[in-house]
Amino acid sequence: MSSLTAIFGNSEEKNENSEKLMELYWNRAELKKEFARMRKEQYRLQDRIKEQEGRTARTQQRLDHLEELLRDPEWAHNVVVYYQLRGLGQRAERKLARFAEQLKQQREQKKYDSLMVNWNDERKQEARTLEGEVLETRDRIQTLEDQLQSEQSRLTRMSRFVRTFRGRSVMKLIDSLAAQLEVSVKAEHSLNDRIEEIMNRQPPDHQGLDIPAKRSINLMILSFAQQLYAQLDEAGIASLAKEATEKSVGAIKYGTPFECQQLLERICRGIQTMEKATEFAEILKKRALLLGERAKFPGSDHAVPVPGTVAMLFMIDAGGIVREKQVNIVGENYWGISNVFSR
């Protein structure tokens, strides 16, 4: 037997070797998968490094360009004006975005509060209706209990002779009253369960605004954007502030050092006007109504007006006098208004 084992080998050893070979095979396959994953991750990281190097190079180019401009006496004052105007334009964008967000939250909260009031009223009315049915059921229960007690007392007071002739009908009436009482008690319990279910009912989810509400919000946002333009236009810098947010430094020249100084003074006045003016809620509403009279929309499911239909800027003074000026706030995307519209 030992000679056969030496020639052909032990079957258990063969199985063990086979299992080891399979294990090595699968381990090799897993290593190949892991290696492929690591290689893919390496390529991804290399691409990110290249992208970052590109951004760094572009940033360095802009810094070098800015340094050259600041070294140039003819351009140094222009650079200051550019960044002042750019900051002013960004300030207007932030004010518009903050106004839009607050307005949307207020409208959504108002709609939800109205929804909750209606929901609570309906819930209470439904519960009151059932409470009325409970009172009627309790009255019926009380009547049945009184009748049942009366018939039971009458049966008890009957003599044996009378019970022989009338006892069966009285018992039948007692059984009928007991059955009716049981049904009424169950009905009361069912009504109370329904009332409890109504009072424990979960409030409706916060629903979004419909198209008419979104259109109303957008007209108010546009009205506020026009207000910002009107305030800066008093100093003649509204379009300059917008331009500075769209172009790079050095792409615009504002003139001589004296002209730049005058522009800086106008920017200062523009900031003061924009920050001090707060009591214009009625003006915003009036302007929104005027815009609404002219606004057209691409379709019934669109909330943003067609730019050309609201391209007239309405300037309204404290006395309510309205002046019109052709300025396409939406079409030219003043103060990033396209990013804050409700859609």
Average pLDDT estimate for 263-290: 87
Range scoring the smallest mean pLDDT among 28-32, 186-190, 276-280: 276-280
Domain ranges of the chain: 2-67, 117-199, 209-339
Q: Could you read off the pLDDT of 186-240 as tens digits, one per residue?
A: 999 999 999 999 989 888 887 788 999 999 999 999 999 999 999 999 889 999 9
Looking at the chain, the whole-number percentage of residues with pLDDT higher than 70 is 90
Closest alpha carbon to 228 in 296, 306, 284, 289:
284
What is the rounded distance in angstroms from the CA atom of residue 98 to the CA atom of residue 225?
12
Cα 91 vs. chain centroid, distance in angstroms?
A: 24
Average pLDDT estimate for 248-273: 91
Contact, 97 vs 105, CB < 8 A? no
pLDDT band at 4 (very low <50, low <70, confident <90, very high): very low
What pLDDT shows up at residue 69? Answer: 64
Q: Is the pLDDT of residue 300 over 90?
A: yes
Give the number of other CB atoms < 10 A from CB of residue 59.
10
Residue ranges of alpha helices (H) inside the chain are: 2-8, 11-71, 73-157, 160-199, 211-233, 238-246, 257-276, 281-294
Q: Is the pLDDT of residue 5 over 60?
A: no
What pLDDT shows up at residue 12? Answer: 59
Q: Could you read off the pLDDT of 117-128 as tens digits, one per residue?
A: 999 999 999 999
Range scoring the smallest mean pLDDT among 41-55, 133-147, 206-220: 41-55
Range scoring the smallest mean pLDDT among 49-53, 122-126, 199-203, 323-327: 49-53
Closest alpha carbon to 246 in 98, 64, 75, 86:
86
Pull the structure tokens for residue 151: 């018939």
323 bridge partner residues: 315
Q: How far is residue 278 from each of residues 22, 188, 224, 281, measured CA to CA in Å?
A: 79, 60, 11, 8
pTM for this structure?
A: 0.69
What pLDDT shows up at residue 339? Answer: 95
Looking at the chain, the whole-number percentage of residues with pLDDT higher than 90 is 52
Average pLDDT estimate for 174-178: 88
SS3 of residue 48 by DSSP: helix
SS3 of residue 339 by DSSP: helix
